[in-house]
Amino acid sequence: MLQMPDFLTLGHVTRDLHSDGSFSLGGTVTFAALTAYHLGLAAAIVSRADQQLIPELSRYLPNIELQIQPSPQSTTFANQYREGFRTQYLHARAESLEISDVPVQWREAPIVLLGPLAQELSPDIVSLFPRRPGTILAATPQGWLRRWDADGRVWPTPWMEAERILPQIDVLILSHDDLLPFADGNRRDADAILHRWSMHVPLLVATDGRHGATLFRHGQTQRFPAYPIDEVDPTGAGDVFAAAFLTHLHKHGDPEQAIDFANCTASFSVEQPGIAGIPTTEKVLQRMNEKKNLTT
């Protein structure tokens, strides 16, 4: 019988292609579940992948409970960088997740994170997890903000279901940059979108890289600085942040403290490539104490 996890995340695990033809395992669910596990929670993933990748997932994701349905192909991304700008391509996409993919025993998990990457989660999946006291239902919507053309090039697309989904969840976490394409690159206009969305969800957190993060509560904002570090690889930092924020929020109930904890956790993740930098709680608390001592 499946044991109910503390932290459940849904979305596609991905093959992230490198220039030499190799790949690393990616996806919001990968980074988020590993972060939750490193922070002391029992974590689980619901996803879809191809028959070759499925047997390898337990090696990439040790100690993570997996419910992976087979798909003809796995979601596969490749990034091209030119003059500091990233162009992203979707080379393959796993089938969308179905409501039946989620084990009944897992549907009352204390923390649930919806982490779509390529429109693989229907808005209807939110109905599986009705809001209840003592639980958190959260989403990182980047996969609902993407479309792709016939060549697989990824483009931004408006989140048409935002105001339908937001009232049904407890927390929305996203990158400030995710909204810039819809605001002609104007940060003030992006903030206006965040402000509007925050009126429909109890907590909204917008990350902004080295600038830290902003907490929106029904239109009211608080900004929290990042931890200064030497960045090596920002891949997955937002997903690490999301899992750390939700973990701390569930344990302690204070969103302001949770953002500082998440900022610190994410600072470790960018210091090493891929999943290698995800820290333990002890490392995070040590860095937070060091920062506190420097400012007192």
Name which residue leads in pLDDT, 289 or 118. Answer: 118
pLDDT value at 254 more than 80: yes
pLDDT band at 83 (very low <50, low <70, confident <90, very high): low
The angle subtended at Cα 96 by Cα 94 and Cα 97, nearest 5°, is 115
What is the rounded radius of gyration, in angstroms, for the C-alpha atoms of the chain? Answer: 18
Mean pLDDT in residue range 95-124: 96
Cα separation values, 146 from 78, 94, 149, 225, Å = 15, 15, 10, 28
Gap between the Cα atoms of 138 and 172, Å rounded: 6
Query: Which residues, 6 or more positions from 62, have their beta carbon under 8 angstroms from its beta carbon?
Result: none
pLDDT value at 273 more than 90: no
pLDDT band at 276 (very low <50, low <70, confident <90, very high): confident
pLDDT digits (tens, 9 = 90+) for 5-29: 999 999 999 999 988 888 999 999 9
pLDDT band at 232 (very low <50, low <70, confident <90, very high): confident
Mean pLDDT in residue range 110-131: 95
Name which residue leads in pLDDT, 48 or 188. Answer: 48
Q: Given phi > 0 = left and psi -120 to 50 = alpha, else beta, which region is 152?
A: left
* 272 DSSP assignment: S
Residue 182: predicted pLDDT:
84
Residue 6: predicted pLDDT:
98
Cα separation values, 11 from 2, 17, 46, 48, 287, Å = 19, 18, 7, 8, 31
Mean pLDDT in residue range 52-77: 96
> For all residues of the chain together, what is the average pLDDT?
92
pTM, to two decimals: 0.94
Give the number of other Cβ atoms within 10 Å of residue 54's Cβ. Answer: 18
Residue 235: predicted pLDDT:
79
3-state percent helix, strand, coil for the chain, nearest multiple of 5: 40, 25, 35
Mean pLDDT in residue range 33-44: 97
CATH code for the domain defined by 7-295: 3.40.1190.20
pLDDT digits (tens, 9 = 90+) for 168-226: 999 999 998 898 888 777 788 888 999 999 999 999 999 988 889 999 999 899 999 98
Gap between the Cα atoms of 6 and 41, Å rounded: 6
Mean pLDDT in residue range 74-86: 80
By residue count, the chain amounts to: 296
Domain chopping of the chain, boundaries: 7-295
pLDDT band at 230 (very low <50, low <70, confident <90, very high): confident
Kindly report which listed range (30-39, 247-256, 279-288) carries the lowest average pLDDT score: 279-288
Residue 94: predicted pLDDT:
98
pLDDT digits (tens, 9 = 90+) for 139-158: 999 999 999 999 999 999 99
pLDDT band at 269 (very low <50, low <70, confident <90, very high): confident
Query: Which residues, 6 or more positions from 215, have their beta carbon under 8 angstroms from its beta carbon?
Result: 203, 204, 205, 221, 222, 223, 224, 255, 256, 259
Give the number of other Cβ atoms within 10 Å of residue 222's Cβ. Answer: 12
Query: Which residues, 6 or more positions from 98, have their beta carbon under 8 angstroms from its beta carbon?
Result: 69
Name which residue leads in pLDDT, 290 or 50. Answer: 50
